[in-house]
Structures are given as C-alpha cells and as structure tokens.
Amino acid sequence: MKVNPIPEGCHSITPYLLVPDVGRLIEFLKKAFGAVERAKIARPNGTILHAQVLIGNSIVMIGEPQSPYKPLPTMLYLYVPDVDTTFKQALAAGGVSTMEPADMFYGDRSGSVKDVAGNTWWIATHKEELTTAETQKRATEFFKTMGKSGA
C-alpha cells in the first residue's frame, strides 16, 4: 500500500508547539477555537510526547518539552468567520488580550490574545481583497499617520 508523504489532514507546513502542560493548552484551544483533539500519546512519566488538534481545517501538533528542548512560544494567525465572537471566546477560555479586534489596513479585521502557554494568537476575519500594491500604499499611509517608519 502506497503511503502519502503528507499525512491525511496535514498541510505542507504544520505548526508544532512545544509547551508545558499540553492538556491545559488543549482545553484552552477547545474552548477558545473549537479545537478537536485528534491524538494524544503519553510518555511513561505521564507527560505528553505528542498531541494533535484540529482547528478549522488545520492541524496543530503539540508536545511537552524534555531536555534538551525548551518551551518555544510562538505566534499563529488564525482565520475565522467572526473575529469578534472568537476573540471573546478566547478571553472567556483564559486568554489575555494583547490587541482588541480592529479593521486593519491590509484588509483583515484582527485582534490578538496570549494563550495559557504564552503563545500569541492573531485572530482575523478577511474583509477585503487587496493587491500587493494597494496593501503597500495603505501601509505607507498607515505608518505616516502613526509617525513611524516601520523599522
């Protein structure tokens, strides 16, 4: 039987979070983003070697760090149908607001929360189709009004 080089349900790039207390993060992801647990494999000491959750159409892999590896907080960008509702769900699940949802120059309405493991989730709803040139023009104007060079 031929084996697909990319496992069923995975994309070419799949985020892998290395965090303490994987179970706590999985519960947060379920409450905040409707994650569905697909797999959980424990080490003999009870820590989680590997887990997978499905959020929307994407798999996120998660494991608990063990020497020599350390926790690796990261930033993820999650598209959802309603950013405001999902943002509120994430806060209710224990997330901490790092930016309230707002309409952004690049055509998304987005906001961000920090999860229980220290990862930052940018939550967004795509609102406008823009060309790269239109986005660049808006970015230039945005940084002018903010008095920043963007550097």
- Interatomic CA distance for residues 82 and 131, integer angstroms: 23
Entry pTM: 0.89
Give me the half-sphere count of Cα atoms (radius 13 Å) on the Cβ side of residue 30. Answer: 10
* Per-residue pLDDT tens digits for 2-40: 888 888 888 889 999 999 999 999 999 999 999 999 999
In this model, does residue 118 exceed pLDDT 60? yes
Q: CA nearest 90: which of 37, 52, 34, 36?
A: 34
Q: What is the pLDDT of residue 6?
A: 86
Instruction: Give the amino acid at 93.
Output: A
Q: For domain 16-146, which architecture applies?
A: Roll (3.10)
Which residue ranges make up each domain of the chain?
A: 16-146
Enter the DSSP assignment of 73. Answer: -
Q: 19's torsion region: left (phi>0), alpha (psi -120 to 50) or beta?
A: beta
pLDDT band at residue 141 under the 50/70/90 scheme: very high
Enter the DSSP assignment of 132. Answer: H
The 10 Å Cβ neighbour count of residue 82 is 13
